[in-house]
Amino acid sequence: MRKPGPFLRHRNLLLVLLLGALAGGRSAADSPSGPIRLLPENPRYFEWQGRPAVLVASGEHYGSVVNADFDYLKYLDTIKAAGLNHTRLFLGDYVEAPGAFGIVDNPLAPAEGRFLAPWARSSVPGYSLGGNKFDLDRWAPEYFARLHGFFEAAARRGIVVEAVLFFAGPTMVNHPLVGKNNVNGTPEIEPRTYLSLERGTVLERQEAYCRKLVSELNQYDNLIFNLCNEPWFYNQESPSFASQAAAPVKAWIQRASEWVRNEEAKLPKRHLISVDLMNQGGRIRVADLQGVFGNIDVFNVHYDANAAVVSDNPALGRALAFNETGFNGTTDEAYRVQGWRFLLSGGALYGNLDFSFTVGHEDGTVIPRFSTGSYDAGGGADLRMQLRVLLDFMQPLPLARLQPDSSIVVGGADSWTALASPGEAYAVWFPGSGPIDPLINLPAGEWTYEWVDILTGAITRRVASHSSWVAKAHGERRGGGVALRITRADQAPVPGARVAQEGSAGATGGVLSAGRAVEADDFVAKSSKALRAMEEKARELHVGGAAVIAFFKGSELRSWTSRMSVVGRYKDAPSAGNAGANLLAIAYAKAAEMADTFKNSGHAGRPALTGELGWQGGVVSAWNGGYLIAAFSGGKSDDDVEVSKAGIRALTADN
């Protein structure tokens, strides 16, 4: 890769200064439209960065900040590169010991002496997990510096953070508020009584901690406060896996929500408050909504594989979130299917626990490991890519008008869930495997059908004219199901939708045309192999950077299918005399040049157009009635070319 010359560096610096001036000094914490909130027109969904939104996560086990050894920048870069927009975080009143839940290399179980809490350490040794005890009268500057660094980094990447304030969990013996772990004389605490209005000394410490965190984090727009993780853990209304918290705990939840609301009343911004309701689903009582849950905006469930909480609360007027799943085996299908079912039933947020993230593997590349047969879970890059397909499917829909629907399918399917903005757009989830021929109930007119492959994001598209009230459609379920999006053909395309025209391959993300689209389908199937080859060649050459592989049909670019991968880094940070470099942008600039010239990048035979760089490092090759493009940016020009050639070879080896 060529280094930017002096003129380019100066031009970039002027652009940065100009953008900073136009932003009026706005920090990464600020969104132009303020904190994430419930969508006013349809509060079952969110509004984020000025647009209706759902949130999807496949994230680490909540230790990004409290584990001093966890590289949260690499982690957030991985989430961003995967195209996801959410993560969850414990704020420090709870930490786990190594081996909890059988998790090997648990991010929420720091090495001895590496737990960061909001409270400062004292000079007295004896904390249960190593190091000195805590002094609850003093805050820890190093913790808050790390906390702000995390939120700033997440904000810059467009990632919304659910920040968990409290938890009375199975390793509560390690709580800083437990008497033996601090020098302040708090009583020994039983998990059953931690979330209680009866323990005055502990309650005062909880309030001080809560208000401090609320005050510190008020500046961030990418924030949802979660009052308590699983408050039912030791305090159930009725002994069962699926039970809400007992009445005394709900009274404590009300008090904690008042701490947040009262503290934010003195501060510039107001944030959403969530609470974990129960495992699986259940009805939220009207009396609770008006009383103990009066300040709650988002109700979370865990392990609700059947989206029961959505059907149990059809007219809640607040958002429903499935913010923790996992421990359902190592295969991706269970977590993929749960996400589709929940969001296509009317949920607003889906969060999977991804155990491929550990200290030293914050890029999510480790194989999840568990030390006991009682627990087993999964995660990894493939699942994150598949969950991005879900997010990309949902975001273009008219969320402001979307509601659960039971009338769109009238036959031909034994199981389905659907959302509809009647007469405008419909989204249907069909679980299972194999072909399916549903009977679709639509008003007369021309409609665009988009069948979405939940494994690749590939779309099979067709336009059909309806003169009667019912029509037959055909789709293929694989990987646990298939999704169908239907929009009016005589309206403008749904904003942001990656739509392929008849007879052409689609845009970024694996969009396919109607019919078989054999060539593009072949590319989608082989692109992972090509990216792996590029990654292996880059590591062999000891270079990192951004890899792009793309295919388009025909002799003129109208749309393409592309995938990308980050090998170690996707940008070079600015330094003295150097404005830095966005390697991903450079790789795509090389690809765009080749799509126009049909020549390897840097060999166009003409001056570079605006938006092009004219740099070497990309390779183009005819293939299957179209063109393959591979581009890499991050090394020297010769190295970039070799990496790109490796991708082309991997795709064409079998042809």
Average pLDDT over residues 603-614: 87
Query: Is the pLDDT higher at 330 or at 131?
Result: 131
Q: Kindly tell me if the per-residue pLDDT of 516 is higher than 70.
A: no
Domains, the chain, in order of start with CATH, read 52-309+319-329+349-373 (3.20.20), 405-499 (2.60.120), 519-652 (3.30.450.150)
In this prediction, residue 490 has a pLDDT band, given cuts at 50, 70 and 90, of low
Q: Which has the closest alpha carbon to 409: 435, 434, 430, 432?
A: 430
- Per-residue pLDDT, 198: 84
Q: Give the helix ranges, DSSP H, for 379-516.
A: 381-394
Q: Kindly tell me if the per-residue pLDDT of 31 is higher than 90.
A: no
- Per-residue pLDDT, 512: 24
Q: Kindly tell me if the per-residue pLDDT of 296 is higher than 90.
A: yes
Percent of the chain with pLDDT over 70: 89
Q: Which has the closest alpha carbon to 202: 237, 168, 162?
A: 168
- Per-residue pLDDT, 11: 42
DSSP 358: B
Q: Kindly tell me if the per-residue pLDDT of 9 is higher than 60.
A: no
* CA separation for the pair 35, 479 (Å, rounded): 36
Q: Is residue 363 helix, strand or coil? A: coil
- Per-residue pLDDT, 12: 43
Q: Which of 3-17, 86-100, 170-184, 610-624 is predicted least confidently? A: 3-17
pLDDT tens for 519-553 read 455 676 678 888 989 999 998 898 999 999 998 87
* CA separation for the pair 95, 131 (Å, rounded): 14
Q: Output the average pLDDT for the chain.
A: 88
Q: Which of 247-251, 296-300, 578-582, 631-635 is predicted least confidently? A: 578-582
In this prediction, residue 498 has a pLDDT band, given cuts at 50, 70 and 90, of very low
pLDDT tens for 334-355 read 999 999 999 999 999 999 999 9
In this prediction, residue 216 has a pLDDT band, given cuts at 50, 70 and 90, of very high
Q: What is this structure's pTM?
A: 0.74
The position carrying tokens 């966005």 is 582
Q: Kindly tell me if the per-residue pLDDT of 137 is higher than 80.
A: yes
8-12, 101-105, 217-221, 607-611, range with greatest mean pLDDT:
217-221
- Per-residue pLDDT, 643: 95
Its sign, for the CA torsion 57, 60, 66, 72, is negative
Percent of the chain with pLDDT over 90: 69
Phi, psi (rounded to 5 degrees) for 269: -120, 150
- Per-residue pLDDT, 27: 62
- Per-residue pLDDT, 180: 95
- Per-residue pLDDT, 513: 25
Three-class SS string for 80-115? HHCCCCEEEEECCCCCCCCCHHHECCCCCCCCCCCE
DSSP3 helix / strand / coil % (the chain, rounded to 5): 30, 25, 45
Q: Which has the closest alpha carbon to 111: 437, 358, 413, 409?
A: 358
Average pLDDT over residues 136-165: 98
Query: Is the pLDDT higher at 1 or at 104?
Result: 104
Q: Give the helix ranges, DSSP H, for 381-473.
A: 381-394
pLDDT tens for 235-267 read 888 888 889 999 999 999 999 999 999 999 999
* CA separation for the pair 272, 280 (Å, rounded): 22
Q: Kindly tell me if the per-residue pLDDT of 221 is higher than 60.
A: yes
pLDDT tens for 70-99 read 999 999 999 999 999 999 999 999 999 998
- Per-residue pLDDT, 194: 92
Farthest CA pair distance, the chain: 80
pLDDT tens for 362-386 read 999 999 998 877 778 889 999 999 9
- Per-residue pLDDT, 521: 54
Q: Which residues have a Cβ under 8 Å from the Cβ of 237 and sit 6 or more positions away?
A: 243, 244, 245, 246, 247
* Bridging pattern class, strands 445-452 and 459-466: antiparallel
Average pLDDT over residues 604-632: 87
- Determine contact, residues 46/55, Cβ cutoff 8 Å: yes
Query: Is the pLDDT higher at 324 or at 235?
Result: 324
- Per-residue pLDDT, 239: 83
Average pLDDT over residues 99-103: 89
pLDDT tens for 393-418 read 999 999 999 999 999 999 999 999 99
